[in-house]
Amino acid sequence: MQVIKYVFQPHGDERAQLVVFEEQKDIPFAIKRVYFMYDTAQGVVRGKHAHKNLEQILVCIHGSCKVLLDNGKERKIVPLEKPYEGLYVANDMWREMFDFAPGTVLMVFASEYYDETDYIRNYDEFLKFVEEKAK
Residues labelled as active-site residues: 49
| 3-state SS class at 126 | helix
| 2 contact partners, CB below 8 Å, separation of at least 6 | none
| 3-state SS class at 96 | strand
Gap between the Cα atoms of 100 and 114, Å rounded: 24
Q: Which of 134, 108, 104 is nearest to 54 (CA)?
A: 108
Query: Considering Cα of 112, then 120, then 91, then 35, what sign does the dihedral take?
Result: positive
Gap between the Cα atoms of 115 and 120, Å rounded: 11
The residue count of the chain comes to 135
